[in-house]
Structure 1
Amino acid sequence: MSKIVDALRKIQDERGGRPPEATERPHKIGRIEATSVDTPVLLVDEAAQSASASLPARIVQIDRAAMRDAGLIPPAEDTRKFDEEYRVIKRPIIKNAFGANAKDIKQGHVVLVSSALSGDGKTFTCLNLALSLAQEKDTAVILIDADIPKPHISTLLDAQDEPGLLDYLDDTSVKLEELELATSADGLTFLPAGKFRHNATELLSSKRMQKLIDYLSRRNPRQIVLIDSSPLLQTTESRALTAIAGQMVVVVRAGVTPREAVMDALATLDTSKPTNLILNQVRFGKNRGYYGGYYGSDSSTYTDDGMPSSSSSSASQANNR
């Protein structure tokens, strides 16, 4: 893990204290609408054809202009650079999920996105990663909001009051198809967090949760299950989710996240599973929004053996939630 240690030492050297977080306020980037016809689920494997064949007749319309106003994507002139950065970030994730050696990674298509602490850009990264992954040919993505204490993605997509993951896990009569939401991004569906429950950790650790993951895997072997988790060092729910994921993405806010916190977070993970470390080198931009504004960044991705899985590149991808 020498490369990770070196990167985190740089973070510690640059650290100047955590800036004040932006005031949380509703800033929707999507709205839920009824659809006139069901949207087919992308079923690549013929063995999955007997599974669910359509999505619910509701769709989340994702508003790119609202995303830009919220600081979730950069100004139009930087879009190409931003998109290219996420292409670099997602390559090792796709390789672990569907590459030649993917068979050696159990549930490699199940990807957990977390951070050591809140405010590191996890939700921002997870949402943009989902949109980028959904652009892959012959690949579907289901984005699951499992950040139970702070389900920001559900709020952003106007689904904070919708039934979702916890409702499904807590009630065996609830069907997944009643909860899934299609989105206006081709290939991307969304499962909201659902109504808060105090036994969320137990629900996420349950056999029903594992059965849900197994069902999604059977329904489409070419589907990536992308789970937005709460921070590893601040909740027990995130620890429960690490057991079901085949690979991890840990988001670090360079210059802010304490090196010790990142090392402690990495120590909670199974070292046999690929772990990608995304470093967000944050500096303030002139646009500010719900997530603290648009920032520039430098980003690198590392595996848990310390070797870089992509070369360092300049990106416009950092945020403070």
Structure 2
Amino acid sequence: MMAFFKKNKDKIDNTSMEKGVKLITVAEPNSVITEQFNTIRTNIQFSSVDKSFKTLMITSSLMSEGKSTVSANVAASFAKQGLRVLLVDADLRRPTIASTFGISNPKGLTNYLTEQNFNINNIIYETSVDNLFVMPSGPVPPNPSELIGSNKMQHLVAVLANQLDLVIFDAPPVLSVTDAQILSTCVDGTILVTRAERSEKDAVRKAVESIKHVQGHIIGAILNDVHGSDGAYGYGYGYYAK
């Protein structure tokens, strides 16, 4: 009977693009899962010895491993602690933030990167979570990698870091396109999301090598979709450096 419930590793889940991801930390603030996200937040804070991280990129090796869900919930967890947090949808091909936060036909990151004299305040949206702001991806562009690698994008990362306590970039999977590899050179740290019973060791290894190849700083990995002894859906956090 187990074979009938085997996960299809090749199937791409489009649900998050259409309906957004679940903000468990907001909907279920006292749940075990929310506590796991709070633990992730604490581990991120303590992973910085010399200075606090101002900009983080969260990505995965391949699609459908949960990086957008993790990005949104980690951002909310930091915001609930009192930090002014901006969650940026840097996945210009498969965006989720607009759907997650119910923003209809939004302008976003691509508008800022492609239009002259664009007011950045027009693409930063308040959310129902205190201290949490979001920047949608905007219209899907024909040249995402070029936009992510532009000088204007580098300037944006620096400006946002100066204005907020923490900026989290939800980036595309490392092995699918070059966007995450490029963006990893602009942020303080990168976190790689993996999914139990789905992520392939070889793919994760290649993703780590790709980030390190451009001198990106990987601070750790998050393992999600883990079923504990009580059958609950949970998350774990660990460090590649260890």
1:101 is matched with 50
CA distance in 2, matches of 1:183, 1:81: 24
Q: Which has the larger radius of gyration?
A: 1
1:246-265 to 2 correspondence within 5 Å? 246-265=188-207
CA distance in 1, matches of 2:145, 2:13: 28
State yes or no: 1:231 paired with 2:180. no
2:3 is matched with none
Q: Confirm or deny: 8 A CA contact 1:160 1:193 kept in the other structure.
A: no
Q: Which runs of 4+ in 1 moved over 6 A?
A: none
State yes or no: 1:165 paired with 2:109. yes
Which of 116, 121, 125 is matched with 1:181 structurally? 125
Encode CA deviations 1:79-123: one digit per residue, 9 max, x unaligned.
Answer: 331221111101132235xx55117xxxx3110010011111111
1:123 is matched with 68
Which of 281, 294, 301 is matched with 2:237 structurally? 301
Which of 59, 83, 86 is matched with 2:34 structurally? 83
Task: Using the TM superposition, give the Cα deviation of residue 19 of structure 1 relative to its aligned residue in structure 2, in angstroms.
Answer: 7.6
In structure 1, what residue type is equivalent to 2:160? L
Structure 2 vs 1, CA of residues 179 and 303 (structure 1 numbering), >3 Å: closer, same or farther? same
- Relative to total residues, which structure has the larger strand share, 1 or 2? 1
CA distance in 2, matches of 1:16, 1:171: 43
Q: Confirm or deny: 8 A CA contact 2:58 2:192 kept in the other structure.
A: yes
Q: Confirm or deny: 8 A CA contact 2:184 2:217 kept in the other structure.
A: no
**Ranges in structure 1 where 5+ consecutive residues have no aligned partner:** 1-14, 30-66, 284-294, 308-321
Task: Using the TM superposition, give the Cα deviation of residue 158 of structure 1 relative to its aligned residue in structure 2, in angstroms.
Answer: 2.8
State yes or no: 1:18 paired with 2:3. no
CA distance in 2, matches of 1:135, 1:102: 21
Encode CA deviations 1:247-288: one digit per residue, 9 max, x unaligned.
Answer: 1111101111111011111111136624211112445xxxxx
Task: Using the TM superposition, give the Cα deviation of residue 304 of structure 1 relative to its aligned residue in structure 2, in angstroms.
Answer: 3.0
Structure 2 vs 1, CA of residues 88 and 195 (structure 1 numbering), >3 Å: closer, same or farther? same
Structure 2 vs 1, CA of residues 278 and 120 (structure 1 numbering), >3 Å: closer, same or farther? same
The CA RMSD over aligned residues, in Å, is 2.7
1:92 is matched with 43
Task: Using the TM superposition, give the Cα deviation of residue 170 of structure 1 relative to its aligned residue in structure 2, in angstroms.
Answer: 1.1
Q: How many residues align?
A: 231
In structure 2, what residue type is equivalent to 1:245? V
State yes or no: 1:133 paired with 2:78. yes
Q: Report sequence identity in percent.
A: 24
In structure 1, what residue type is equivalent to 2:43? P
DSSP 3-state at the match of 2:232: strand
Structure 2 vs 1, CA of residues 265 and 77 (structure 1 numbering), >3 Å: closer, same or farther? closer
1:110 is matched with 55
1:27 is matched with 19
Task: Using the TM superposition, give the Cα deviation of residue 179 of structure 1 relative to its aligned residue in structure 2, in angstroms.
Answer: 1.3
- Relative to total residues, which structure has the larger helix share, 1 or 2? 2
Which of 4, 9, 24 is matched with 1:73 structurally? 24
In structure 2, what residue type is equivalent to 1:93? I
CA distance in 2, matches of 1:194, 1:184: 20
In structure 2, what residue type is equivalent to 1:101? D
